Amino acid sequence: MEPIHLEDRAVIAISGPEARDFLQGLVTNDVAEGLAPGAGLYTALLSPQGKILFDFLVTEGEGALLLDCTRDSCENLLRKLKMYKLRAKVEIEARDQLGVYSNLRGHPDNRPVPYADRAVTFPDPRMTGFGNRSIGARAEMPANLPGSLAYHETRLALGVPEGRDFGYEKIFALDAGLEELHGVSFTKGCYIGQELTSRMKHRATARKRILTITGESELPGGGAVTRGAGEIGEILSSYGRTGFALVRLDRLDETQGEITAAQIPVTLKRPAWLL
């Protein structure tokens, strides 16, 4: 993948002596033990009922924990984190001077330090197909990089949902594939939504999964997915003829006939990473 400026991403910084403990008590992944130098974590903040509110990547640099989130969700995530702050010794702020990049390479003005080393760079923790992620000062990064389109094309090809694909408080973490994308720890302590997430894991009650959906024509942004006379799922998001749908796997297996959405013939594909 070529170097990309992910202009639809934003950065929130959590700093202070209790930054790790603060985030550890909120999110699905193990920030305290799992966030090593030069690495990143994929994680989510859930509702008390175990449904995804926000998903983001976390790394450490610039004297803080850096949260790489969708730009559209940044303000609401910032507000939610500040609501949970209470008396924790942390500072929480958006760092608009920082940008998010993918697969940075090359040297600025023939200087010895490459762009990737002038930023906080780490392998995308979800899967190797995404390459490296970087968070760095916009003023020090290369200008005129391509935008996010190529990244989202790769994401669709790999069948990896994120951000608006999940909606807000619509989907349980395990239904969304967060376990397979290395976004959930089952060995850490308590976090918001942990009880229901653990129960679904141990009872194996996650029957829905997010699959890639492709239509013979442009897909609507929502609506039911049907097979024969029965409803088997719903469209979560669409990007032209391709998108993501939340599908009941048992109903998909039990029914027969053409699969349609808004009377458009569609095909469903289970991504290779989803066991």
17-45 mean pLDDT = 96
Residue range 169-184, pLDDT digits in tens = 999 999 999 999 999 9
Distance CA 201, CA 173 (A): 10
CATH class of 207-269: mainly beta
Indicate the average pLDDT of the chain. Answer: 93
Largest CA distance in the chain: 64
Q: 87: which residues sit within 8 A by CB, 6+ positions away?
A: none
Is the model's pLDDT at 255 over the cut of 90?
A: no
In this prediction, residue 206 carries a pLDDT of 66
Is the model's pLDDT at 129 over the cut of 90?
A: no
Distance CA 91, CA 88 (A): 9
CATH class of 4-147: alpha beta
First to last CA, the chain: 25
pLDDT higher at 221 or 12: 12
In this prediction, residue 268 carries a pLDDT of 96
Structural domain boundaries in the chain:
4-147, 207-269
% pLDDT > 90, the chain: 81
In this prediction, residue 111 carries a pLDDT of 62
* Integer angstrom CA distances of residue 45 from 24, 29, 31, 39, 135: 10, 9, 12, 20, 21
Residue range 222-236, pLDDT digits in tens = 999 999 888 999 999
In this prediction, residue 110 carries a pLDDT of 65
* Integer angstrom CA distances of residue 237 from 183, 202, 210, 212, 213: 21, 29, 11, 10, 9
In this prediction, residue 208 carries a pLDDT of 92
